[in-house]
Amino acid sequence: MKIAVCIKQVPSRDWQPRLNDTRTWIRDQDAAFEMNEPDAYALEEALRLKEQHGGEVVVCSAGPARVAQVIREALARGADRAIHVEDEALASADGFVVADSLAAAMKAEQFDLVLTGLQSDDMGFAQTGVILAARLGHPHATIVMDVKVDASTVRVKRELEGGWFQWVAMQLPAVLTIQSGINQLRYATLKGIMAAKKKEIKKAAASSSSARVEIASLYVPEKTKQTQMITGSPAEAAKELVRRLREEARVL
């Protein structure tokens, strides 16, 4: 089985965001970066499927040169090789541009299964995997919590609203977006880190598609609080508190 895993490099959760001069993205030069957490779960699921069914795992990533950091990390965890769509403009590109670039680089590979994380920790649109499926012409399922692969089909468990789940069967090839927590992540071993240095990273050019989403402005939320005193007798105050919780805060 030939499995592709799309991974993204995102700002570290421990890093305090700083905006660029135009306030349309972060200051990349000041940021610390790491592998997108949902993508890490997608990679782990692909490695487990390879252990069960054989084949190879190919990590695919779109972004500037610094993305090589997370590509090497994925190779150290057990992926066999990688495809890097390298372009500085992809650092803040929308899901359409990223998906188009990945699809163009992946089509010739004829993957049996393509896994992505549910969404990215920086933008969080949860659209890249869905658009990628459309560009590749494959069936897809989102918010996947379990994966069962047969000879020519894949059966997945999807998380729905309100604690419900849904089982869906699809023909291969297919695209799945993986939910965080689907498995237990593994760490790269010293042997894996050394082996990653010799594994192939194929470079590919970005597509020329236009962005569909434009970031007009970013800002860091301000921490504010406001105290309101409710006067009157205890019964009147309790009644007014309930009214405000129901009609203004809408928590009742």
Residue 226 gets the label, from left (phi > 0), alpha (psi -120 to 50) or beta, of: beta
Judged against a pLDDT cut of 80, whether residue 227 lies above it is answered with yes
> Are the C-beta atoms of residues 8 and 36 closer than 8 Å to each other?
yes
Judged against a pLDDT cut of 80, whether residue 223 lies above it is answered with no
Nearest to 116 by CA among 147, 88, 153: 147
Q: How far apart are CA 109 and CA 91, in angstroms?
A: 24
| Per-residue pLDDT band at 26 (split at 50, 70, 90) | confident
pLDDT digit string (tens) for 233-246? 999 999 999 999 99
Which CATH number describes the domain made up of 2-204?
3.40.50.620
Judged against a pLDDT cut of 80, whether residue 44 lies above it is answered with yes
Three-state secondary structure string covering 28-49:
HHHCCEEECHHHHHHHHHHHHH
pTM: 0.84
